[in-house]
A and B are shown apart, each in its own frame.
Chain A
Amino acid sequence: MSFTSFYFLCFYACVLIIYYLIPAKLQWIFLLVSSAAYYLLSGNGILILYPVVACLVAYAGICVMGRTADVKKRRLALVGVVVLLIGCLFLLKYINFGINTVNGIAGLLGFGDIITGFHFMIPLGISFYTFSILGYVIDVYNQIAQPQKNFFKMALYGMYFPVILSGPIIRYREDGEQFFQPHPFEYKRVVFGMQRMLWGFFKTLVISERMNLVVNTVYDNYANYTGVYIWVATICYAFQLYTNFSGGMDIALGMSQTFGIKLPENFETPFFAKTISEYWRRWHITLGVWMKEYVFYPLLRTHAFSELGKRCREKLGKKRGKQVTTFIAMFILWFTVGIWHGGDWKFVIGSGLLHWFYIVMGELLNPVYGRIMRKCHMNGDNGWVNGWRIVRTFLLVNIGFVFFRADSTIAACRMLAGAIHVGNIGMLFDGSLFSMGLDLIEFTIAIASLFILLTVSILQQKEDVRERIARKNIVVRWIIWYALLFYVILLGYYGPGYSAAEFIYQGF
Chain B
Amino acid sequence: MNKKQAVKAILFAVIFLFLLQSLTYMLRTNGDIKEIFIGFYAEPKDTIDVVMIGSSPVYPFYAAPKLWGEYGFTMYPLASNVQRPKAAVYLVEEALKTQSPELFVFELRMYTYEEGAMADNMAYARGVTDNLKYSWNRIRLINSLVPEISERYTYYFDIFKYHSNWKTLILPDQYTAFWYERLHPLKGYVMHDEVIPGDGADYSAVSEQMAIPKEQEENLRALLVYLQEKDLNALFIVSPMVLDEDMQKKFNYMENIIASYGYDYLNLNNYYDELGIDFAMDYYDGGSHVNASGSEKCTAFLGNYLTEHYELTDKRSDEKYSTWNEAYIYWQECQEAALEMINNKVTSGEYDTMVEGE
List the interface of chain A (C-beta within 8 A of B).
Answer: 6-7, 185, 187, 191, 441, 474, 478, 481-482, 485-486, 489-492, 494-498
Contact = CB atoms under 8 A, between A and B. Distances in A.
B163 A495 contact: yes
Contact of B23 (A7, A474, A486): A486
Contacts of B157: 6
Nearest to B160: A495
A67 to B, nearest CB: 45
Interface string B14-34: 011001100100010000000
Given A441-B167, A495-B161, A495-B164, A478 B5 contact: no
A496 B167 contact: no
A187 B166 contact: no
B12 A497 contact: no
A482 B19 contact: yes
Given A495-B160, A496-B151, 18 more contacts: A6-B154, A6-B157, A7-B153, A185-B1, A187-B1, A187-B5, A187-B9, A441-B167, A482-B16, A485-B16, A490-B27, A490-B166, A492-B163, A495-B154, A495-B161, A495-B164, A497-B164, A498-B164
A77 to B, nearest CB: 45
Contact of A496 (B2, B5, B15, B161): B161
Nearest to A20: B1
B164 to A, nearest CB: 7
B153 A6 contact: yes
A474 B27 CA distance: 28
Contact of B160 (A185, A191, A485, A496): A496
Contacts of B153: 6-7
B290 interface: no
Contacts of B23: 486, 489-490
A257 B31 CA distance: 45
Interface in B159-190: 159-161, 163-164, 166-167
A479 B160 CA distance: 23
A489 B159 contact: yes
B125 to A, nearest CB: 12
Nearest to A9: B153
Contacts of B159: 489
A485 B18 CA distance: 13
Given A187-B5, A441-B167, A486 B19 contact: yes
A496 B154 contact: yes
Contacts of B2: 187
27 contacts: A6-B154, A6-B160, A7-B153, A185-B1, A187-B1, A187-B2, A187-B9, A191-B9, A441-B167, A474-B8, A478-B15, A481-B12, A482-B15, A482-B16, A486-B19, A486-B23, A489-B20, A489-B23, A489-B163, A490-B23, A490-B27, A490-B163, A492-B163, A496-B161, A497-B161, A497-B164, A498-B164
Nearest to B6: A187
Nearest to A186: B1
A478 B9 CA distance: 11
Which 8 pairs of residues, A with B, have the shortest CB-CB distance? Answer: A495-B160, A490-B166, A187-B5, A496-B154, A187-B1, A6-B153, A496-B161, A490-B163
Interface in B139-160: 150-151, 153-154, 157, 159-160
B160 A494 contact: yes
Nearest to A191: B9
**What does DSSP make chain A's interface, helix, strand, loop or mixed?**
helix
Contacts of B8: 474
Contact of B12 (A7, A478, A490, A494): A478
A187 B163 CA distance: 31
A299 to B, nearest CB: 49
A187 B3 CA distance: 11
B166 A491 contact: yes
A338 to B, nearest CB: 38
A431 B19 CA distance: 36
A492 B153 CA distance: 17
A497 B160 CA distance: 10
A300 B332 CA distance: 92
B31 to A, nearest CB: 17
A422 B65 CA distance: 65
B275 to A, nearest CB: 42
Contacts of A492: 163
Nearest to A492: B163
Nearest to B12: A478
A24 to B, nearest CB: 14
Contacts of B122: 496
- Specify which of A6, A441, A482, A489 lies most central, judged by the most chain B CB atoms within 10 Å of its CB: A489
Most buried by A among B122, B153, B163, B166: B163
Nearest to B2: A187
Nearest to A481: B12
Interface centre among A441, A474, A481, A495 (most CB of B within 10 A): A495
Nearest to A188: B5
A342 B7 CA distance: 49
B123 to A, nearest CB: 11
B21 to A, nearest CB: 12
For A187, A474, A494, A498, which residue has the most chain B Cβ atoms within 10 angstroms?
A: A187
A437 to B, nearest CB: 15
Nearest to B157: A6
Contacts of B166: 490-491
Contacts of A474: 8
A183 to B, nearest CB: 14
Contacts of B19: 482, 486
B314 to A, nearest CB: 48
Nearest to A490: B166
A482 B160 CA distance: 18
Contacts of A478: 12, 15
Contacts of B20: 489
Contacts of A497: 161, 164
A490 B160 CA distance: 9
Nearest to B162: A495
Interface string B88-112: 0000000000000000000000000
A494 B161 CA distance: 8
Contacts of A489: 20, 23, 159, 163
Contacts of A482: 15-16, 19
B177 to A, nearest CB: 15
A383 to B, nearest CB: 39
B204 to A, nearest CB: 45
Nearest to B20: A489
A117 to B, nearest CB: 34
A109 B20 CA distance: 63
A185 B6 CA distance: 12
A191 B6 CA distance: 12
Nearest to B24: A489
A494 B159 CA distance: 10
Contacts of A494: 160, 163
Contacts of B167: 441
